[in-house]
């Protein structure tokens, strides 16, 4: 019932014509790369960081909605989406810092999924004064090696497809690992979610530059979590990889006050599979 009420309130809000302000788009130059971003709404900034191999569109169910109460920025990482440039060695957290500087943002709440969550963690370790809230969604973690059997089983097929430059097979391997997860068949996952994830993955891989390489944080975040004192929420689906669930436990153990919310019936792409439940949980955390 509460989700129906929540959805109804949103419908009334937009139906009354109270739409967010105009969408602003552009590029920020970082080294030899131009980072594409989208910016909407007003108020305290909220920055959304997408998963690896996908792009900013994975936040479609959050971007406009959250701009009712915040200025929301989403962007494409290097080698992803509409960002473009020359091969370079870089750090994701430094790119985020330079994006914030260019947009006049001193401090923001940050939400990232998977690789995006790992970037958010690295950023708050390097710039704790610039982060007022942290939402980690199905997050990976620098220094933590995922050893899930489902990933190991699909690695030979994925590696062979990569050698043959068979993007369709690579995409299906990605979907089996990260859209379906270890406990579901493709038929048990929303077809529209699988289709959108597959489209983003293929778009990224068609333009992939293997010589653009990120520098990891040293020492890695795994050994530094106790240094984080920013309010933190970890959101994950109960159908995700065991390794992601283990990371959630580590983060909630080592970051003071961090809390975890598990959404039933969702896998790694929890914000796309269960947007109503996800949005309510995140909005309650960020606006309380």
pLDDT digits (tens, 9 = 90+) for 201-254: 999 999 999 889 999 999 999 999 999 999 999 999 999 999 999 999 999 999
Say how far apart CA 181 and CA 174 lie, in whole Å. 10
- Which residues lie below 8 Å from residue 260, measured CB to CB, with a gap of 6+? 233, 234, 235, 236, 248, 249, 251, 252
In this structure, the strands spanning 71-75 and 33-40 are antiparallel
pTM of the model: 0.92
Check pLDDT > 90 for residue 20.
Answer: no
Inter-helix orientation angle 167-174/149-163, to 10°: 170
Percent of the chain with pLDDT over 90: 90
pLDDT at 267 over 70: yes
β-sheet bridge partners, residue 24: 39
Given this structure, which CATH class describes domain 21-287? alpha beta
> Does the CA dihedral 206-210-212-214 come out positive or negative?
positive
- pLDDT tens readout for residues 109-161: 999 999 999 999 999 999 999 999 999 999 999 999 999 998 999 999 999 99
SS3 286: helix
Q: Where are the domains of the chain?
A: 21-287
Which position has the higher pLDDT, 96 or 1?
96
pLDDT in tens, 64-89: 999 999 999 999 999 999 999 999 99
- Residue 93, pLDDT > 70, answer yes
């Amino acid at each position: 019932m509460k989700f129906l009420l929540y959805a109804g309130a949103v419908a009334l809000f937009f139906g009354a014509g109270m739409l967010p302000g105009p969408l602003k788009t552009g590029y920020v130059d970082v080294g030899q790369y131009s980072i594409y971003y989208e910016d909407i709404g007003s108020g305290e900034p909220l920055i959304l960081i997408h998963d690896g191999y996908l792009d900013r569109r994975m936040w479609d169910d959050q971007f406009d909605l959250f701009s009712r109460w915040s200025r929301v920025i989403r962007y494409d990482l290097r080698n992803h989406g509409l960002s473009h440039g020359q091969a370079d060695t870089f750090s994701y957290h430094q790119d985020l810092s330079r994006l914030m500087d260019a947009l006049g943002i001193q401090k923001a709440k940050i939400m990232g999924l998977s690789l995006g969550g790992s970037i958010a963690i690295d950023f708050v370790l390097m710039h704790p004064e610039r982060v007022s809230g942290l939402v980690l969604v199905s997050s990976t973690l620098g220094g933590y090696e995922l050893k899930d059997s489902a990933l190991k089983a699909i690695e030979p097929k994925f590696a062979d497809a990569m050698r043959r430059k068979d993007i369709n097979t690579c995409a299906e391997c990605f979907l089996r690992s990260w859209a379906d997860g270890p406990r579901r068949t493709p038929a048990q996952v929303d077809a529209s979610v699988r289709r959108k994830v597959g489209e983003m993955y293929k778009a990224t891989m068609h333009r992939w530059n293997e010589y653009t390489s990120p520098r990891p944080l040293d020492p890695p975040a795994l050994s530094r979590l106790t240094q984080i004192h920013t309010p933190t929420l970890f959101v994950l689906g109960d159908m995700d990889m065991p390794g992601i669930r283990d990371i959630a436990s580590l983060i909630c153990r080592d970051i003071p006050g961090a809390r975890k919310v598990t959404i039933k019936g969702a896998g790694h792409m929890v914000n796309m599979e269960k947007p109503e439940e996800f949005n309510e949980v995140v909005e309650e955390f960020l606006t309380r």
